[in-house]
Amino acid sequence: MSTHDPNCIFCKIVAGQIPSRKVYEDEDILAFHDIQPWAPVHFLLVPKRHIASMAQVGPDDAALMGRLMTLIPRLAAEQGCNPYPEGGFRIVCNTGVEGGQEVHHLHVHVMGGPRPWSRG
């Protein structure tokens, strides 16, 4: 299942070569706290397999991406996002340089918690 890019920081986190504060893990997906949070809750969800960005996602990834996205409400609540509609959360998936992507391993940001946030 796993394609590992030895130069990729998130592949190194998946492999345990770089520490992270884990939020969730299963066979295909890892979630961990962002090292520079913008918001009281800020974690990232990544496929364990190296997929560079959302631009590489296709029909074969529908099940994986569906599972990744549908984990978000549960994990957001567990991490302290307040209930919808007064609370809620923001999902961001920067894609490519013009999309603001800095780490080229697909990741979905989940941000939430009481305002103000430091960004966004």
The DSSP-derived string for 23-44 is EEE-SSEEEEE-SS-SSSEEEE
CA distance 87 to 94: 23
20 near ligand AMP, judged by CB under 6 A:
yes
CA neighbours closer than 13 Å in the CB half-sphere of residue 3: 5
Binds Zn ion by CB under 5 A, chosen from 5, 28, 34, 61: 5
Say whether 107 is catalytic: yes
Which is the catalytic residue, given 42, 50, 105, 107? Answer: 107
**Nearest-approach distance from CB 114 to ligand AMP, in angstroms:** 20
Q: Interaction with ligand AMP in 40-59: which residues (CB under 6 A)?
A: none
